[in-house]
Amino acid sequence: MAGPVSSPGFFISFEGGDGAGKSTQIQLLADALRGVGRQVVITREPGGSPGAEAIRKLLLEGAADKWSPITEALLMYAARADHLERTIEPALHRGAVVITDRFADSTMAYQGLAGELGEKAVSTLYKLVVASRGPDLTIILDLPVEEGLKRSGATGDAEQRFESKGATYQEKVRQGFLEIARREPERCAVVSAKDGIAEVAERIREVIQTRFPKLLSR
Ligand code: TYD
Protein backbone atom coordinates (compact mmCIF):
# COMPACT_ATOMS: atom_id res chain seq x y z
CA MET A 1 0.00 0.00 0.00
CA ALA A 2 1.14 3.57 -0.64
CA GLY A 3 1.42 4.50 3.03
CA PRO A 4 4.25 6.10 4.94
CA VAL A 5 7.56 4.25 4.79
CA SER A 6 7.62 3.70 8.56
CA SER A 7 4.29 1.86 8.78
CA PRO A 8 2.24 -0.47 6.60
CA GLY A 9 -1.05 1.39 7.15
CA PHE A 10 -2.57 4.44 5.51
CA PHE A 11 -3.69 7.60 7.29
CA ILE A 12 -6.62 9.74 6.04
CA SER A 13 -8.06 12.84 7.71
CA PHE A 14 -11.36 14.54 6.94
CA GLU A 15 -11.59 18.27 7.57
CA GLY A 16 -14.10 21.04 7.00
CA GLY A 17 -16.42 23.44 8.74
CA ASP A 18 -19.19 22.37 11.08
CA GLY A 19 -22.02 20.50 9.38
CA ALA A 20 -20.13 19.54 6.21
CA GLY A 21 -21.20 15.90 6.57
CA LYS A 22 -17.82 14.45 7.48
CA SER A 23 -19.10 11.57 9.58
CA THR A 24 -21.48 10.31 6.89
CA GLN A 25 -18.76 10.43 4.25
CA ILE A 26 -16.27 8.73 6.56
CA GLN A 27 -18.71 5.83 7.07
CA LEU A 28 -19.25 5.47 3.31
CA LEU A 29 -15.53 5.51 2.58
CA ALA A 30 -14.89 2.99 5.35
CA ASP A 31 -17.57 0.70 3.84
CA ALA A 32 -15.90 0.95 0.42
CA LEU A 33 -12.47 0.18 1.87
CA ARG A 34 -13.77 -2.76 3.94
CA GLY A 35 -15.47 -3.99 0.78
CA VAL A 36 -12.05 -4.49 -0.82
CA GLY A 37 -10.74 -6.23 2.28
CA ARG A 38 -9.04 -3.40 4.14
CA GLN A 39 -9.02 -3.17 7.92
CA VAL A 40 -10.40 0.29 8.78
CA VAL A 41 -10.25 2.23 12.05
CA ILE A 42 -12.55 5.25 12.31
CA THR A 43 -11.65 7.82 14.90
CA ARG A 44 -12.15 11.52 15.67
CA GLU A 45 -10.69 14.67 17.18
CA PRO A 46 -10.70 16.14 19.66
CA GLY A 47 -10.81 12.63 21.12
CA GLY A 48 -10.15 9.17 19.72
CA SER A 49 -8.53 7.65 22.82
CA PRO A 50 -9.79 7.52 26.43
CA GLY A 51 -7.51 10.36 27.57
CA ALA A 52 -8.26 12.51 24.55
CA GLU A 53 -12.01 11.95 24.96
CA ALA A 54 -11.74 13.30 28.52
CA ILE A 55 -10.00 16.40 27.14
CA ARG A 56 -12.71 16.68 24.44
CA LYS A 57 -15.34 17.28 27.09
CA LEU A 58 -13.30 20.15 28.53
CA LEU A 59 -12.96 21.67 25.08
CA LEU A 60 -16.41 21.38 23.55
CA GLU A 61 -18.74 22.21 26.42
CA GLY A 62 -19.28 25.61 27.97
CA ALA A 63 -19.04 29.24 26.90
CA ALA A 64 -17.26 30.32 23.71
CA ASP A 65 -14.65 32.27 25.70
CA LYS A 66 -14.04 29.54 28.30
CA TRP A 67 -10.38 29.07 27.27
CA SER A 68 -7.73 31.54 26.21
CA PRO A 69 -6.43 30.91 22.66
CA ILE A 70 -3.14 29.35 23.78
CA THR A 71 -4.81 27.13 26.42
CA GLU A 72 -7.31 25.92 23.85
CA ALA A 73 -4.58 25.04 21.35
CA LEU A 74 -2.51 23.27 24.02
CA LEU A 75 -5.52 21.19 25.03
CA MET A 76 -6.17 20.28 21.38
CA TYR A 77 -2.54 19.22 21.03
CA ALA A 78 -2.47 17.36 24.35
CA ALA A 79 -5.46 15.37 23.10
CA ARG A 80 -3.77 14.85 19.71
CA ALA A 81 -0.54 13.55 21.24
CA ASP A 82 -2.49 10.93 23.20
CA HIS A 83 -4.64 10.07 20.17
CA LEU A 84 -1.54 9.55 18.00
CA GLU A 85 0.24 7.41 20.60
CA ARG A 86 -2.65 5.27 21.76
CA THR A 87 -4.91 4.90 18.73
CA ILE A 88 -3.53 6.10 15.39
CA GLU A 89 0.02 4.76 15.42
CA PRO A 90 -0.82 1.30 16.80
CA ALA A 91 -3.53 0.93 14.12
CA LEU A 92 -1.17 2.04 11.32
CA HIS A 93 1.44 -0.43 12.54
CA ARG A 94 -1.16 -3.22 12.34
CA GLY A 95 -1.66 -2.22 8.70
CA ALA A 96 -5.07 -0.57 9.08
CA VAL A 97 -6.44 2.37 7.16
CA VAL A 98 -7.07 5.03 9.81
CA ILE A 99 -9.75 7.61 9.01
CA THR A 100 -10.01 10.48 11.45
CA ASP A 101 -12.81 13.02 11.65
CA ARG A 102 -10.57 16.12 12.03
CA PHE A 103 -6.84 16.32 12.78
CA ALA A 104 -4.13 19.00 12.91
CA ASP A 105 -5.55 21.14 10.07
CA SER A 106 -8.50 21.89 12.35
CA THR A 107 -6.19 23.51 14.90
CA MET A 108 -4.52 25.50 12.12
CA ALA A 109 -7.88 26.61 10.69
CA TYR A 110 -9.85 27.21 13.94
CA GLN A 111 -7.16 28.37 16.38
CA GLY A 112 -4.41 29.52 14.00
CA LEU A 113 -5.95 31.15 10.93
CA ALA A 114 -9.44 32.05 12.24
CA GLY A 115 -8.61 32.39 15.95
CA GLU A 116 -6.40 34.81 17.79
CA LEU A 117 -3.42 32.54 18.27
CA GLY A 118 -1.96 32.87 14.79
CA GLU A 119 -0.33 30.29 12.61
CA LYS A 120 3.20 30.50 13.97
CA ALA A 121 2.30 29.14 17.39
CA VAL A 122 0.18 26.39 15.85
CA SER A 123 3.04 25.42 13.50
CA THR A 124 5.34 25.12 16.50
CA LEU A 125 2.93 22.73 18.22
CA TYR A 126 2.56 20.75 14.99
CA LYS A 127 6.31 20.26 14.69
CA LEU A 128 6.56 19.25 18.34
CA VAL A 129 3.71 16.72 18.37
CA VAL A 130 2.98 15.52 14.82
CA ALA A 131 6.08 16.18 12.67
CA SER A 132 6.26 13.36 10.11
CA ARG A 133 3.34 11.43 11.62
CA GLY A 134 0.65 13.38 9.75
CA PRO A 135 -1.96 12.10 7.27
CA ASP A 136 -1.09 10.66 3.85
CA LEU A 137 -4.28 12.19 2.47
CA THR A 138 -6.62 14.92 3.73
CA ILE A 139 -10.12 15.39 2.34
CA ILE A 140 -11.44 18.90 2.97
CA LEU A 141 -15.23 19.01 2.67
CA ASP A 142 -16.13 22.52 1.61
CA LEU A 143 -19.52 24.07 2.23
CA PRO A 144 -20.86 27.64 2.47
CA VAL A 145 -20.94 28.61 6.16
CA GLU A 146 -24.68 29.36 6.30
CA GLU A 147 -25.53 25.91 5.03
CA GLY A 148 -23.12 24.21 7.44
CA LEU A 149 -24.51 26.06 10.45
CA LYS A 150 -28.06 25.19 9.39
CA ARG A 151 -27.15 21.50 9.18
CA SER A 152 -25.16 21.32 12.43
CA GLY A 153 -27.54 23.55 14.41
CA ALA A 154 -30.21 20.91 13.98
CA THR A 155 -28.43 18.43 16.28
CA GLY A 156 -28.95 20.48 19.48
CA ASP A 157 -26.32 18.70 21.60
CA ALA A 158 -24.17 20.11 24.43
CA GLU A 159 -21.00 20.27 22.31
CA GLN A 160 -21.76 23.60 20.70
CA ARG A 161 -18.83 25.75 21.87
CA PHE A 162 -17.33 26.26 18.40
CA GLU A 163 -20.64 26.51 16.56
CA SER A 164 -21.52 29.31 18.99
CA LYS A 165 -18.59 31.46 17.84
CA GLY A 166 -20.63 32.89 14.97
CA ALA A 167 -20.69 33.11 11.17
CA THR A 168 -17.76 35.53 10.70
CA TYR A 169 -15.47 33.18 12.60
CA GLN A 170 -16.81 30.20 10.63
CA GLU A 171 -16.14 31.99 7.34
CA LYS A 172 -12.53 32.55 8.41
CA VAL A 173 -12.33 28.84 9.27
CA ARG A 174 -13.59 27.96 5.79
CA GLN A 175 -11.05 30.25 4.13
CA GLY A 176 -8.39 28.80 6.43
CA PHE A 177 -9.01 25.26 5.20
CA LEU A 178 -8.93 26.43 1.57
CA GLU A 179 -5.61 28.19 2.25
CA ILE A 180 -4.16 25.00 3.79
CA ALA A 181 -5.23 23.08 0.66
CA ARG A 182 -3.54 25.66 -1.58
CA ARG A 183 -0.32 25.34 0.41
CA GLU A 184 -0.28 21.54 0.43
CA PRO A 185 -2.00 20.38 -2.76
CA GLU A 186 -0.28 16.98 -2.74
CA ARG A 187 -1.71 15.99 0.62
CA CYS A 188 -5.03 17.82 0.47
CA ALA A 189 -8.07 17.51 -1.80
CA VAL A 190 -10.98 19.96 -1.56
CA VAL A 191 -14.33 18.30 -2.27
CA SER A 192 -17.53 20.35 -2.48
CA ALA A 193 -20.04 19.10 0.10
CA LYS A 194 -23.00 20.96 -1.42
CA ASP A 195 -24.40 18.08 -3.46
CA GLY A 196 -26.14 14.94 -2.33
CA ILE A 197 -24.48 12.32 -0.14
CA ALA A 198 -23.93 9.86 -3.02
CA GLU A 199 -22.34 12.46 -5.31
CA VAL A 200 -19.95 13.65 -2.61
CA ALA A 201 -19.01 10.04 -1.79
CA GLU A 202 -18.33 9.37 -5.48
CA ARG A 203 -16.03 12.42 -5.68
CA ILE A 204 -14.08 11.24 -2.66
CA ARG A 205 -13.63 7.82 -4.22
CA GLU A 206 -12.42 9.49 -7.43
CA VAL A 207 -9.75 11.40 -5.49
CA ILE A 208 -8.50 8.13 -3.99
CA GLN A 209 -8.64 6.27 -7.32
CA THR A 210 -6.53 9.01 -8.90
CA ARG A 211 -3.98 9.48 -6.14
CA PHE A 212 -3.77 6.09 -4.43
CA PRO A 213 -5.35 3.58 -6.82
CA LYS A 214 -4.07 0.56 -4.87
CA LEU A 215 -6.09 1.53 -1.80
CA LEU A 216 -9.47 0.77 -3.38
CA SER A 217 -8.45 -2.33 -5.31
CA ARG A 218 -8.18 -5.84 -3.96
P1 TYD B 1 -17.57 18.14 16.74
O2 TYD B 1 -18.81 18.04 17.56
O3 TYD B 1 -16.72 16.95 16.58
O4 TYD B 1 -17.96 18.83 15.40
P5 TYD B 1 -17.83 18.42 13.89
O6 TYD B 1 -18.90 17.42 13.68
O7 TYD B 1 -18.04 19.71 13.20
O8 TYD B 1 -16.44 17.88 13.70
O9 TYD B 1 -16.75 19.34 17.38
C10 TYD B 1 -15.48 19.61 17.09
C11 TYD B 1 -15.32 21.10 17.19
O12 TYD B 1 -14.00 21.40 17.65
C13 TYD B 1 -15.49 21.76 15.85
O14 TYD B 1 -16.30 22.90 15.99
C15 TYD B 1 -14.10 22.19 15.48
C16 TYD B 1 -13.39 22.31 16.78
N17 TYD B 1 -11.93 22.00 16.72
C18 TYD B 1 -11.02 23.03 16.85
O19 TYD B 1 -11.38 24.18 17.01
N20 TYD B 1 -9.68 22.73 16.80
C21 TYD B 1 -9.22 21.46 16.64
O22 TYD B 1 -7.99 21.22 16.60
C23 TYD B 1 -10.19 20.40 16.52
C24 TYD B 1 -9.74 18.99 16.35
C25 TYD B 1 -11.54 20.72 16.56
Backbone angles phi, psi at 103, to 5 degrees: -155, -150
Whether ligand 1 lies within 6 angstroms of the CB of 43 is answered as no
Contacts of 87 (CB under 8 A, 6+ apart): 41, 43, 48, 49, 52, 98
Q: How far apart are CA 159 and CA 161, in angstroms?
A: 6
Q: For ligand 1, pick from 15, 18, 84 the residue to mutate: most ligand atoms within 8 Å of CB.
A: 18
Whether ligand 1 lies within 6 angstroms of the CB of 83 is answered as no
Residue 144 within any structural domain of the chain: yes
Residue 217 within any structural domain of the chain: no
Determine the structural domain holding residue 102 and report its residue range: 10-210
Which amino acid is residue 23, in one-letter code? S
- CB-CB contact of 138 with 177 (8 Å): no
- 138, β-bridge pairs: 13, 188
Residue 107 pLDDT: 98
Residue 118 within any structural domain of the chain: yes
**DSSP class of residue 2?**
-
Pairing of strands 10-16, 97-101: parallel
Whether ligand 1 lies within 6 angstroms of the CB of 106 is answered as yes
Output the CA 80–ligand 1 centroid distance in Å.
12
Residue 4 pLDDT: 47
Q: Tally DSSP H helices, then E strands, for the chain.
A: 9, 5
- CB-CB contact of 149 with 163 (8 Å): yes
Residue 2 pLDDT: 47
Cβ of 216: how many Cβ atoms within 10 Å? Answer: 15
Residue 6 pLDDT: 59
- CB-CB contact of 30 with 117 (8 Å): no
Q: What are 140-193's pLDDT values in tens digits?
A: 999 999 999 888 865 667 777 877 778 899 999 999 999 999 999 999 999 999
Whether ligand 1 lies within 6 angstroms of the CB of 17 is answered as no
Residue 164 pLDDT: 74
Contacts of 67 (CB under 8 A, 6+ apart): 59, 75
Whether ligand 1 lies within 6 angstroms of the CB of 11 is answered as no
Whether ligand 1 lies within 6 angstroms of the CB of 73 is answered as no
Q: What is the DSSP string of 80-126?
A: HHHHIIIIIHHHHHTTPEEEEES-HHHIIIIIIISSSS-HHHHHHHH
Cβ of 87: how many Cβ atoms within 10 Å? Answer: 20
Residue 218 within any structural domain of the chain: no
Residue 216 within any structural domain of the chain: no
Q: For ligand 1, pick from 23, 126, 155, 162 the residue to mutate: most ligand atoms within 8 Å of CB.
A: 162
Residue 189 within any structural domain of the chain: yes
Please state the pTM of the whole predicted model. 0.94
Extract the residue ranges of the chain whose pLDDT is less than 70. 1-6, 153-156
Q: How far apart are CA 22 and CA 28, in angstroms?
A: 10
Residue 160 pLDDT: 76
Output the CA 37–ligand 1 centroid distance in Å.
30
CATH of residue 194's domain is: 3.40.50.300
Instruction: Count structural domains, the chain.
Output: 1
